[in-house]
Amino acid sequence: MNILERYHAMEYGPAPEARTEADAWLAGRDFGKALFIDGGWKAASGGKTFETSEPSSGKLLAKISDAGAADIDAAVAAATKALPKWSASSGYQRAKVLYAIGRAMQRHQRLFAVLESIDNGKPIRESRDIDVPLAIRHFIHHAGWAQALDMDFSGHKGVGVVGQIIPWNFPLLMLAWKIAPALAAGCTVVLKPAEFTPLTAILFAEICERAGVPKGVVNIVQGGPEAGVAIVNHPGIQKIAFTGSSEVGKIIRKATAGSGKKLSLELGGKSAFIVFEDADLDSAVEGLVDGIWFNQGQVCCAGSRLLVQEGIADALIAKVKVRMSRLRVGSPLDKNTDIGPLVDGTQLDRVKGLVAEGARQGAVCWQPDAVLPSSGYYHLPTLATGVSPANILAQEEVFGPVLATMTFRNTEEAIELANNTRYGLAASVWSENINLALHVAPQLKAGVVWVNGTNMFDAACGFGGYRESGFGREGGREGMFEYLSVKLPLGPVIKPATSSAQPVEQSDGGAIDRTAKLFIGGKQVRPDGNYSLAIATAKGKLAGEVGLGSRKDIRDAVAAARACKAWPEATAYNRSQVLYYLAENLSGRTGEFTARLTELTGANAKAAREEVEQSIERLFLYAGLADKYEGRVHQPPARAVTLALHEPVGVVGIVAPDSAPLLGLISLIAPALAMGNTVVAVPSEKYPLLATDLYQVIEYSDVPAGAINIVTGRTAELAGVLAKHDDVDGLWLFADADTCSKAEADSVGNLKRVWTGNGRSLDWTSDEAAGDAMLRRAVEVKNVWVPYGD
């Protein structure tokens, strides 16, 4: 066979990567002492170990120390002891350590790559050319953030001791994504790698020893579920960073509810790979290979749903099948291998089970005619056609080399299909019409969108999801915020509302009853239950009554907020103008609102007027910022630009406190509106008449119907309904500690973004309770990658 024939046949001889150094490292290490705590190597206190095996053969690689709760206590104690000195060190000092880690990793990058492929099963080309270089890039990139911290994040400090739990699909890269920003921020770390893939984390700990990382700053504890649970529940940890399945992410969200711990979750995905009829099909096929068969499909952002326009579907599928038939399945240490083994037998069984169920539900599953290796956890690349949107292969994360295919007729249908998932991590859009691609990208509910490309990552560009793909970002400026905190000025402790209705003395005279209604969909409506709540003046007399909102009223308000397209689709300038109108119309009724505040709260006229005027000022502030709080353009070391777009969170539930009842409500509603969110607000339970008095102000200010909805009633009850409502995307809650804790726990249904005061109000009069700190919570950051060049 001549060279040309070999080229067309794609037949290559083996090209194995040498594993001598890796085997020598394995043979020379005592894995019975694999816990790296306080700068030293320790055995698990209980003497337990677990086994890690080679996915390509099933052979035992090592028996690793299995940390228990006592070991986590020791690691947290070491991190706590090291924290004051490390956080007080200069940015330059931390930068030198981060840079030293990156340089030491560069000197040992081939060993890292071979160990990763042996332990995980991914092809050596991927670990050598992608995972390890990108991990190094993160440490060197974040050395710069360490030194620029005071300049770029003024007033922010490291959050403290951080617990980090990483998965097995990118063991070293996920470690870098977690540890690098934490160290740059001045935090100390307790990190638990996955049981399946502990080796490169152990080698990394050795690098920390050589690079001069101070004792206790980085602690790496190998272990299983017991260690993970101990980290999540440990009272000495101020933040949890988790990458893994959505199911476990929900468990962690519930476990940390009410603890005050900062939380970031990077979870599963079911990413759409959208191919329009004008796309370069050959390029799209190569992108698809990278999108779904990279790392055997064991990628949270894998392009596992191929959405192809009907007119080109047959041609594209034919090309995909030809390309699949040429994918080489084999040893991960062979440089010609495209697809290695899955990580473990349990994962292989899971993938097989999902493929079988998908076929039972009507999918046609095709695989190339290829022979699998005789040992190891291998699965052939699989193409599922005839997949309905409800098929398990279109809805569930397979986490294997399985591609589900559906067709669409037009752009609107493509977007609808792409968003027909509970996940929202990533998407790819393929079109030679850049106008079309950039029209589609903002409409996709995904944290990352690649245009004519896929699986592009960089330390300068944030990564993270929407919906049940989690919250928070890793990488870039937004990733740094995850490890920083800013102290907002606290207000009073919020006490639970009394369970029984308080007697209210009837006011003098025979005034006509004027029970205030709810405000839903731009209209004043009666509460569904037709009950009302008596509101007292500061002197205990009846000031009026308001509707007692219920679960049904919240549902109606959320539906109205979701149906309001005019507000999120309005330009930032238009939103700015409407907020100015609100301020203008509230200003015209300053005397009326001053009198109402005095009547209800007992504040003197001067203090009441100051609250009204500061509320007007807040509206002016956010009106001015609506078209100025913008995203960024990143220039990663690739032929691409990354547009970090600010997008509204969506429907935001807001539960306002009793303290500063007008200013507090305005300070929460205004930033959410400024960024294009629609709002369902529950005003102060004690002083709701201040909110009902706003109805006319809203009606006179050109606010689109459904942009602002107000439901009066019992704070705890309505907060619970908002927390459980899966069509609410975010919840801002200032209530008693128990209500806040329950709301966080109840938010797991759709993993909505929850911000609570943990039982405290804020000092709403302070400048720190306004501006950037609020706007950052009102947006999601979507990174859109746009490659350029021939």
266 as an active site residue: the answer is: yes
Distances (CA, A) of 411 to 283, 418, 445: 20, 11, 15
**Does residue 175 contact residue 193 with C-beta atoms inside 8 Å?**
yes
Collapsing DSSP states into helix, strand and coil, what is residue 652? strand
How many CB atoms are closer than 10 A to CB 502? 10
DSSP state of 127: I
Instruction: Region of 608 please: left (phi>0), alpha (psi -120 to 50) or beta.
Output: alpha
CA 535 to chain centre: 40
The number of beta carbons lying within 10 Å of the beta carbon of residue 60 is: 10
C-beta of residue 654 within 8 angstroms of C-beta of residue 680: yes
**Alpha-carbon gap, residue 220 to 229, rounded angstroms:** 15
Distances (CA, A) of 126 to 332, 341, 436: 9, 13, 32
**Across-strand partners of 448?**
426, 783
CA distance 694 to 589: 10
Q: How many CA atoms lie within 13 A of 769 on its CB side?
A: 22
Tell the burial category of 386 from Cβ atoms under 10 Å away from its Cβ (0-12, 13-18, 19+): middle
DSSP 709-765: EE--S-HHHHHHHHHH-TT--EEEE-S-HHHHHHHHHHGGGTT-EEEE-TTEEE-TT
Q: Which of 300, 365, 461, 564 is catalytic?
A: 300
DSSP state letters, 7-42: HHHT-----BPP-HHHHHHHHT--GGG-EEETTEEE
Phi and psi at residue 64, in whole multiples of 5°? -105, 145
Quick one: DSSP state of residue 468? G
- E-strand ranges in 353-473 read 364-366, 382-385, 402-408, 426-430, 448-451, 470-471
Q: Cβ distance 645 to 781 under 8 Å?
A: yes
Nearest of 656, 655, 535, 657 to residue 599 by alpha carbon: 535
Task: Give me 76's structure tokens.
Answer: 């947290």
Q: Rounded to whole angstroms, how far apart are CA atoms 127 and 114?
A: 8
Please answer whether residues 679 and 672 qualify as being in contact, where contact means their C-beta atoms are separated by less than 8 angstroms.
yes
Output the CA–CA distances (angstroms, integers) from residue 613 to 419, 584, 610, in the order listed.
43, 11, 5
DSSP state, 129?
I
Question: Which is catalytic among the residues 195, 266, 468, 647?
Answer: 266
Decide if 403 contacts 306 (C-beta within 8 A): yes
E strand or H helix at 49, and its extent? strand 49-53
* 3-state DSSP assignment of residue 564: coil
Distance between the two ends of the chain, CA-based, in angstroms?
Answer: 34
Residues 6+ apart with CB under 8 A from 314: none
Q: From residue 68, give the alpha-carbon distance in Å to each of 35, 106, 190, 240.
A: 11, 33, 13, 18
300 labelled catalytic: yes
User: Cβ(453)–Cβ(298) under 8 Å?
Assistant: no
Q: Specify the 3-state DSSP secondary structure of 520.
A: strand
Which of 269, 226, 268 lies closest to 247, judged by CA?
A: 268
Provide the annotated active-site residues.
266, 300
